[in-house]
Structure 1
């Protein structure tokens, strides 16, 4: 028997509702019921009751019904956004919005097979350098769908990654752009830097070159992080970009580190602190607080680290220097540390590499450079013997 009951709304309108048994809770052993209400007629309530009863009988009641890839993505994103930092979340959403959802979004997820996945991975490979990363993100949604019994298997597991064939131009023998400086190039860079009148930019680039810090870490520094007596700098945070703008987050490996600075760089920082005080005191802004940033913007809030791209591009053009990026100064610091005889462990800690593999990749470059001089040593040895 269908037990339909009536009730009144505040305006005295009559509505119908019912309770229905939906099974036993496997954890507590207690009976479970659910209520449906708001029906304008008894007939509507009865039809809803029988429909719900059939769902319970078929075992489909209460299961999440997601049809398209887009719908499953949205369900996955609700979980994913609580597991990562805002900066990672923003990057992930951009990857899906720019590359994955335009192709997979409207597909019925149960109908996506290996051939469809292979087709789109091949397309990504032709236009994206990091197509493997895009493929891996797309596969995460399918894994989520398996976990929630929406599909049975992940078609991305059967995808073969395309091999990108590199072509060599016979007309172009120029060396590939190397994003680091030699010792001589860095010395020249620093000499040109001393000619600059903007002390803030001067100190930023010197600090990048002499510390190996990431630009986000440099712009997250507060004066309290610098010990002028011990010449030490404490790196605990990094400026990151989330959906709501810039914010202070953890370092890339999530671990703080303390590194030594050279006396000259510390002297530059002292000069900048005095100039910063003068600049902001003229604007009636107090810079004597414990939270004062070392390199804030003109409004004394977080500076966008990407501003260094514009600064460095202009500086390189002005002084006709070899091209390098802000991150290239970090690679330069790492490379020259190895040339100076620092150990792999020392360099790994100083640069905040979570995985020694990253440090070893730069070390491999230095050893390749050393091997390049092997033939010169051999020739010199023979010439000495022949004298």
Structure 2
């Protein structure tokens, strides 16, 4: 590499590039900068890119959004769930507001870090920032495979942390993740006194089986084994738009595929529900031709179409208002409540994890730890209540 200082005060460095495969001639690489070291670095980077087959001309003109579209096409065909694809596309849309019109080859580490910091200042959550970083990483790795970049500007990006306030810490206490016994009783009582159709069955079933809302909505009668008192979980409901466009997809993870034992109360409730469903079919038999007969446990009486998880969430909020409950996380809180019920029944953690379909769930473990600690304290109090007089008598004597 040779360098010379130009009359305008800038430095120009140049080196022989690789031979042209057609003409066999070497093309000189020239780069200018105020600093000699910068000009040298630019020549070196260009030379390395050419030697590695990087298409610098395309990379310096191809917009980020076009590369993102290419990657999304590949991602959609990788076997991920449609709901995951929609979530990823939403993140790509956010990335495009910052990077969309920039050339894929000209986006630097600083550009990415500045984007993350701006999102942080706008009070986006840490989980969303992580999602943005991961998605950007996927896209730039795709660009590397397409010979559009040598490096990945997402490497070593830092996601800032926001210090929590005392109020936030207190609001996130683990006890907010589940219903206390009195809250559960009030909520379930509301399903009977103020509930609409299916409210009682939906929420009793989640509370006493630990099913996810999507698993509940996708249940078919063939999943219920009345002889063995079991429910088989093999799918979940995905219904982003109109319910007629619903899709049954594999559950959240391999561990989510499971068989859940149920007690006689749940079995009897399901038997009554099935009988009521048959009676309803007879009532609306004139609409039988248009009936969506897919054997769903919970379906609309006239059409047979299943319910969405969003519908369940709205019903949950309505009942919370009726019962005077302020824990509005959604039906999932009943699933967590089921974990507390099992823990208080002294079921071991591994069995609980298998029952609710978790391989490694932080919330489940935290609830288990919290409840067991409370049980230990209660055990000490019970001893004091039943045998405290012996202790007192001994020291008073």
TM more than 0.5? yes
Q: How far apart are 1:79 and its partner, in Å? A: 0.7
Structure 1 residue 135 corresponds to structure 2 residue 133: yes
Q: How far apart are 1:322 and its partner, in Å? A: 4.3
- 2:258 equivalent in structure 1: 257
Structure 1 residue 303 corresponds to structure 2 residue 303: no
Pairing partner for 1:74 from 65, 69, 91:
69
Aligned equivalents of 2:271 and 2:165: distance in 1? 51
Pairing partner for 1:224 from 217, 222, 225:
222
Output one character per residue of 1:33-73: Cα deviation in whole Å (capped at 9) or x when no partner. xxxxxxxxxxxxxxxxxxxxxxxxxx789x97672211111
Structure 1 residues 345 and 173, CA gap change in structure 2 (3 angstroms)? closer
Conservation of the 8 A alpha-carbon contact between 1:232 and 1:261 = yes
Q: How far apart are 1:165 and its partner, in Å? A: 1.3
Conservation of the 8 A alpha-carbon contact between 2:194 and 2:322 = no
Which sits farther off after the overlay, 360-369 or 99-108? 360-369
Aligned equivalents of 2:313 and 2:131: distance in 1? 25
- 1:281 equivalent in structure 2: 282
- 2:357 equivalent in structure 1: 352
Aligned equivalents of 2:300 and 2:160: distance in 1? 45
- 2:324 equivalent in structure 1: 320
Which sits farther off after the overlay, 321-330 or 75-84? 321-330
Pairing partner for 1:293 from 291, 296, 304:
296
Q: How far apart are 1:202 and its partner, in Å? A: 0.9
Structural mapping, 1:1-387, within 5 Å: 67-83=62-78, 84-97=80-93, 99-126=94-121, 127-129=123-125, 130=127, 131-168=129-166, 178-196=176-194, 198-241=196-239, 245-254=245-254, 255-284=256-285, 291-298=294-301, 299-324=303-328, 325-355=330-360, 359-367=364-372, 369-370=374-375, 385-387=391-393
Q: How far apart are 1:125 and its partner, in Å? A: 2.5
Aligned equivalents of 2:370 and 2:220: distance in 1? 34
Aligned equivalents of 1:359 and 1:103: distance in 2? 37
Q: How far apart are 1:141 and its partner, in Å? A: 0.6
In structure 2, runs of 5+ residues without a counterpart are: 1-20, 23-52
Which sits farther off after the overlay, 221-230 or 121-130? 121-130
Conservation of the 8 A alpha-carbon contact between 2:209 and 2:338 = yes
Q: How far apart are 1:185 and its partner, in Å? A: 2.5
Conservation of the 8 A alpha-carbon contact between 1:224 and 1:290 = no
The two structures have a TM-score, normalised by structure 2, of 0.73
Aligned equivalents of 1:120 and 1:372: distance in 2? 49
Conservation of the 8 A alpha-carbon contact between 1:90 and 1:242 = no
Q: How far apart are 1:240 and its partner, in Å? A: 1.1
Conservation of the 8 A alpha-carbon contact between 2:336 and 2:364 = no
Conservation of the 8 A alpha-carbon contact between 2:91 and 2:131 = no
Conservation of the 8 A alpha-carbon contact between 1:199 and 1:272 = no
The two structures have a TM-score, normalised by structure 1, of 0.74
Q: How far apart are 1:144 and its partner, in Å? A: 1.3
Structure 1 residues 353 and 85, CA gap change in structure 2 (3 angstroms)? same
Conservation of the 8 A alpha-carbon contact between 1:238 and 1:250 = yes
Q: How far apart are 1:180 and its partner, in Å? A: 0.9
Which sits farther off after the overlay, 176-185 or 304-313? 176-185
Query: Is the partner of 2:177 in helix, strand or coil?
Result: coil
- 2:33 equivalent in structure 1: none
- 1:3 equivalent in structure 2: none
Aligned equivalents of 2:179 and 2:107: distance in 1? 48
Q: How far apart are 1:194 and its partner, in Å? A: 2.8
Which sits farther off after the overlay, 186-195 or 327-336? 186-195
- 1:28 equivalent in structure 2: none
Q: How far apart are 1:217 and its partner, in Å? A: 0.4
